[in-house]
Amino acid sequence: MKRSWTHWARTAAVGAVSLAMVAACSGRSTTDDADAAGGQVTLKINFWGDFGLQDLKTKYEAEHPNVKIQLNSGEYNAQHEDLQKKLVAGNGAPDIAAIDEGFMVQFRSQSDKFVNLLDKGAGSYESKYLPWKWKQSLSADGKTQIGLGTDVGGLAMCYRTDLFKAAGLPTERDQVSALWPTWDKFLEVGQQYTGKTKKKFLDAGTNLFNPILGQQQVGFYNDQEQLQMEQGPKVAFDYTVKAVQSGLSANLVSFQADWDKGFTSGAFAVLACPAWMLGHIKDTAPGTQGKWDIAAVPGGGGNWGGSFLTIPKQGKNVDEAYKLLEWLVAPEQQIEIFKKVGNLPSQPALYADPAIADFKNPFFNNAPVGQIFPKMAQGLTPQYLGKKNGPTRVAVENVIRRVENKSLKPDAAWNEAVKEADKAAKS
Amino acid sequence: MSSTRAAPAPPSRRPAPERGRRRADDRRLTWRNRLYRFDMRYMPYLMIAPFFLLFLVFGLFPLLFNAVVSLRNYRLDDPTLPYWAGFENFSRLVADEDFWNALYNTFGIFLLSTVPQLLLALLVASLLNRRLRAQTWWRVGVLLPYVTPIVASTMVFSVFFSRDFGMANWVLGLLGIGGADDPIDWRADKMHAWIAIATMVNWKWIGYNALLYLAAMQSIPRDVYEAAAIDGAGQWKQLWRITVPMIQPVVVFTVILSTIGGLQLFTEPMLFDPNAQAATGGPNGEWQTIAQLIYKVGWKDLNLGYAAAMSWALFLIILVVAGVNYLLTNRLSGGRK
């Protein structure tokens, strides 16, 4: 009798465990509902890199005791792909999703899946924004605004004053800007530097390609979504291959470990710098404080990157999310972010604010970043970025990397780039 | 079947009560009886049921659903396409050079990893099978790589095979190969990338396979070797003529297991890429495996229908290769069956 008892107990235990395991795999936690019942809401924000939100989160939570903010930083491409999946699944998207301009066309053509911010009264913001920034996230028919802009890229050239000095180049920022009015001159300076020091001038071919492409009238796609390789991409690609061929590039892969190490080891002397790059340099190589400075980018203006905050429709706390969104794009917070990580606001009125206009970045040798970047952002006609802009860029960057690692001959590179871009457009 | 099961039952329960009135004692016995019979007959099925239920839900259903999806247009970024695609996904597969490139890579890495892996495992096992000092220590030691989380070890190897700061290049430099001036770029061409990835796979699985072989070797009677030694067979001959044929079922098992594992290789090639997220397996797909390509097509290009077709193709390829390997190993090791 006793034996069968233990036997049964054992069976029951095994059954219970397996049931529990199945149950653990299914069902959602009920904490969300519990929160809602108590008037508590949790707002999740998805973004990448550093949006300068850490301190703002604490501040907002202190002012709004019923709101908890969950910051979720991920990899740039991964966050956009994740958002796309969640939109299709109809579940799981964050309350606020950041979207980069490179992916904006793809998402604004699904504007029915986002909260129309115009319904929430966002129309009053239109006059505050750079006109092109406002239009970037507006649906084609102009009736749905899916996001409010946070930062714009702008473009400049960061350089290491200590390495320039060692190579006998001028170090003062205006003189450096005067060295390279055009990309041809820029490559000449590079050859001079590399010839003298036997060190690499640039971090990566791809980081030459992207800023040059950003300056062109037409990027990968025209506004009929047709691939335009012979236009802007060809210009940028030719310069890039030339730079790689003359040994100027350290052939690193951006945002990877070796690249980050390169900042500290002085593996390269210049780096194309949109405003958002400043935060990355500062975070990656805190020891190089004061060695950097910022000069003008060859070829005048240009833009690289810039983001928006959107509210996917499937969220449960849309109203609370919109309140937070409005707070985040308000001038005080935008200025705070600019000072903290360098992201340049997309509301031009702020550029006149002394907090920005007079701001000098001590990390970059007190460069007047509040003057440099706004100038770029204001005089800009941005190019159209197609729906497949993201994958196409990855495909062409891969071809550049093959030239860098010498598995592809420079003469054959352009045809290969066209082929790969074609494939990406059709993928 | 039921009669044999019932035979060892206590005799007291055999005589069923003939009169309508049962004694309390009797009834309790029958109840126990039933429990006992239930226990013997159905309990085993109940006990293994969780596995099969889970397999149905998480194994068979996805497999079949996958087959349905592979015949559909299923694009996450374009839901407007017609529902059924027929065999379009499969016909696209045949002409897709990315797929053939990935297949080529998968087999390349598979050969570079499986063959040395199993041969070395065999050698390690036969070494461990001798009398050694600190025997247990050695045996546990070879299993350590298998215990290491695959992501952790791959991350370390990824740095190990780095172009500028990698230890692999440093060691090769000491031997006069490459060196700091002309470092080997492990990610620049197929051969180097394959070797690097195969090294990771080998490192992880040699010990595991060695222990499987060792377990099998322990059951070979010693006198067989003694007899062979008297007949003049050396160590090498003993290994190939006695050990391998006698542990042949285990050899077949490991070959099939590593075939399945090798053809599904994902984590190592994925994390070997400095830009792992892109899942391209190098700028030109130098080491992109099929599993990686499936991930890329499904979750980066958001074309789930096509990815499903690829998964099914991979499933069929694994079946065929495992079958061929089974026949080959069976024949190589003496054809005992």
- Residues B72-83: tens digit of each pLDDT: 998 877 777 888
A chain contacts of residue B283, beta-carbon cutoff 8 Å: 397-399, 401-402, 405, 407
Angle (deg, nearest 10), helices B304-332 and B88-95: 60
Report d(CA A88, CA B304) in Å as an integer: 12
pLDDT band at B328 (very low <50, low <70, confident <90, very high): confident
Which residues of chain A make contact with B184, given a CB cutoff of 8 A? none
- Is A258 an interface residue toward B (CB < 8 Å)? yes
Q: Is the Cβ pair A11, B54 closer than 8 Å?
A: no
How confident is the model over B228-237, as pLDDT tens digits?
999 998 888 8
CB B302 within 8 A of CB B77: yes
Per the CB < 8 A criterion, the answer to whether A161 and A365 are in contact is: yes
Q: ipTM score of the complex?
A: 0.73
Apex A151 CA angle, A145 and A154, nearest 5? 120
Residue B9 reports pLDDT greater than 80: no
Burial of A140: CB neighbours in 10 Å, binned 0-12, 13-18, 19+: exposed
- Per residue in A245-273, is it b (16+ CB within 10 Å) or e — as a string? eeebbbbbbbbbebbbbbbeebbbbbbbb
When pLDDT is averaged across residues A130-157 and rounded to a whole number, the result is: 90
**pLDDT: is B334 or A84 the higher one?**
A84
Q: What is the mean pLDDT of residues A405-423?
A: 93
Instruction: Report which residue type is found at B174.
Output: L
| Nearest-angstrom CA–CA distance, B56 and A209 | 51
CB spacing of A4 vs B164 below 8 angstroms: no
The secondary structure of chain B in percent helix, strand, coil, rounded to multiples of 5, reads 70, 0, 30
The mean-pLDDT minimum among A38-52, B171-185, B187-201 falls in B171-185
What lies within 8 Å, CB to CB, of A365 at 6+ separation is: A161, A173, A290, A291, A292, A293
Tell me if residue B180 falls in helix, strand or coil.
coil
CB contact under 8 A, B47 and A253: no
In the block, residue with structure tokens 């039952």 = B9
> b/e string for A141-170 if b means 16 or more Cβ within 10 A?
eeebbbbbbbbbbbbbbbbbbebbeebebe
A295, two tokens: 């000069």
pLDDT band at B336 (very low <50, low <70, confident <90, very high): low
Distance from CA of A369 to the nearest CA of B (A): 30
Task: At A136, give phi and psi (nearest 5°).
Answer: -60, -35
CB contact under 8 A, A7 and B47: no
One domain for residues A349 and A276: no
Residues A254 and A111 reside in one and the same domain: no
Give B257→chain A minimum CA distance, Å: 27
Q: Does A14 touch chain B (CB under 8 A)?
A: yes
- CA distances to B10, B26, B30, B47, B302 from B6, rounded to whole Å, are 9, 18, 13, 21, 59
State which residues form the domain around A389: 153-304+364-426
Q: Would you say B66 and B308 are in contact if contact means Cβ atoms under 8 Å apart?
A: yes
What pLDDT score does A28 carry?
45
Distance from CA of A153 to the nearest CA of B (A): 23
Closest A-chain CA to B189: A407
Q: Is residue A268 domain-shared with residue A213, that is, in the same domain? A: yes
Q: Name the token pair of B126.
A: 């036969």
The reply to whether A321 falls in a domain is yes
At A238, phi and psi to the nearest 5?
A: -65, -45
Q: In 3D, which of A223, A222, A220, A245 has the Cα closest to residue A234?
A: A220
Mutation for A interface: B154, B163, B284, most A CBs within 10 A = B284
Residue A241: predicted pLDDT? 96
d(CA B112, CA B104): 12
Q: What is the structure's pLDDT at A46?
A: 95
The residue of chain B nearest to residue A4, with distances taken between CA atoms, is B36
Average pLDDT across chain A, whole number = 87
Whether residues A93 and A219 fall in one domain: no
Asked whether residue A5 carries a pLDDT value surpassing 80, the answer given is no
A340 with A268, same domain: the answer is no
* Least Cα separation, residue A334 to chain B (angstroms): 30
Contact status of A13 with chain B (Cβ, < 8 Å) = no
Note whether A240 and A246 are within 8 A (CB).
no
Q: Determine the pLDDT at residue A27.
A: 44
Whether residue A6 has pLDDT greater than 60? no
- Domain edges within chain B: 96-333
Mean of the pLDDT values across residues B41-53?
92
| pLDDT for A1 beyond 80 | no
Distance CA A386, CA A379 (A): 22
Asked whether residue A139 falls in the same domain as residue A157, the answer is no
Tell me whether residue A12 is in a domain: no
The pLDDT score that the predictor gives to residue A35 is 46
| DSSP secondary structure, B33-47, as one string | HHHHHHHHHTHHHHH
* Residues A262 and A384 reside in one and the same domain: yes
Residue A94 CB partners (closer than 8 Å, separation 6+)? A44, A45, A46, A72, A83, A312, A315
| Residue B268 neighbours by CB distance under 10 Å | 25
| CB nearest to A14's CB, from B47, B164, B278 | B47
A213 with A255, same domain: the answer is yes
B112 confidence band (pLDDT: 50, 70, 90): very high
Same domain, A276 and A215: yes
Q: Give the dihedral of Cα atoms B205, B209, B212, B218; nearest 10 deg.
A: -130
| CATH number for domain B96-333, candidates 1.10.3720.10, 3.40.50.300, 1.10.3430.10, 1.10.150.390 | 1.10.3720.10
Q: How far is B277 from chain A (nearest CA, A)?
A: 7
A85 confidence band (pLDDT: 50, 70, 90): confident
CB-nearest to B275 from A88, A253, A402 is A253
Closest-CA residue of B relative to A22 is: B54
Residues A293 and A279 in one domain: yes
Whether chain B has a CB inside 8 Å of the CB on A26: the answer is no
- How far is Cα A134 from Cα A101, in angstroms, rounded to an integer? 11
Contact A405 B165 (CB under 8 A): no
C-beta atoms surrounding B195 within 10 Å? 17
Nearest chain B CA: its distance from A284 CA (Å): 17
Residue A198, amino acid: K
Write the CA distances from B226 to A234, A258, B231, B237, integer angstroms: 75, 57, 9, 13
Which residues on B lie below 8 Å from A18 (Cβ)? 50
Question: Do A398 and A288 sit in the same domain of this protein?
Answer: yes
Residue A250: CATH number of its domain: 3.40.190.10
Binding-face residues of A in 80-109 toward B, CB within 8 A: 81, 84-85, 88, 106
Range of lowest pLDDT (B162-171, B177-186, B304-313): B177-186
Mean pLDDT of B310-329: 90
* Residues A386-406: tens digit of each pLDDT: 888 888 998 999 999 999 988
> Measured at the alpha carbon of residue B233, what is the angle toward residues B227 and B239, in degrees to the nearest 5?
95
Q: How many CB pairs under 8 A join A and B?
A: 75
Is there a domain that residue A395 lies in?
Answer: yes
Distance from CA of B228 to the nearest CA of A (A): 50
Chain A: closest CA distance from residue B318 (Å) = 26
Residue A253 contacts B where some CB pair is shorter than 8 Å: yes
The whole-number average pLDDT for the span A34-56 is 81
Number of domains in chain A: 2
Nearest C-alpha neighbor of A247 from the set A180, A190, A197, A179 = A190
Cβ of residue A20 closer than 8 Å to a chain B Cβ: no
B18 pLDDT more than 90:
no
Evaluate whether residue A118 is within a structural domain: yes
A58 lies in the same domain as A200: no
Closest CA to A306 of A48, A30, A18, A32: A48
What is the DSSP track for B292-303? HHHHIIIIIS-B
Cβ contacts (< 8 Å) between B43 and chain A: which residues?
11
pLDDT in tens, B212-228: 999 999 999 989 989 99
